Amino acid sequence: MNVPLQWRKIHRRFTMVMDMKLAHISDESKENLAEKFAALSNPARLRILEILAEHPESIVADLVSRLPLSQATVSQHLSVLQKAGLVFHVPNGVRRCCWIDLDALATFSQQVVGWSYALATRTAKTCSERDPSCTN
């Protein structure tokens, strides 16, 4: 089976998440993580990302037709996702096609896994120093 280059790149980026090692996350990266978490905290925005994954190059009207939301509300949600760097728009004549920023999504995933791993490692170390039986 011939897998398109874009899919191989995605697979490679997300496979890297599984190989994450303990890394320091800068304050700027923490701010970036918080902004993305805030953007993802709304179920409508999660659904918009799912629709864009299923239907790349969607325009706002396409999204509105698949959601129980007004055009203004969908546009507002897209604006939040764009500000967080999770989606971008590409002009196509008078329309603007919406895309998920795959590099940003992969970076976000790596940061979340790295941050989670750092917390878990730190917690386990602190716990075992205080009470060796707490990590069981």
Domain boundary assignment for the chain: 27-122
Task: Record the pTM.
Answer: 0.76
How many residues does the structure list for the chain?
A: 136
Cα separation, 72 vs 69, in Å, equals 8
* Location of structure tokens 């205080």: 130
State the architecture of 27-122 in CATH terms.
Orthogonal Bundle (1.10)
Q: What is the pLDDT of residue 41?
A: 97
Tens-level pLDDT at each residue, the chain (136 residues): 444 555 555 556 555 555 555 556 788 888 989 999 999 999 999 999 999 999 988 999 999 999 999 999 999 999 999 999 999 998 888 888 999 999 999 889 888 888 887 787 778 778 777 776 665 5
In 13-131, beta strands by DSSP E: 87-92, 95-100
CA distance 41 to 53: 18
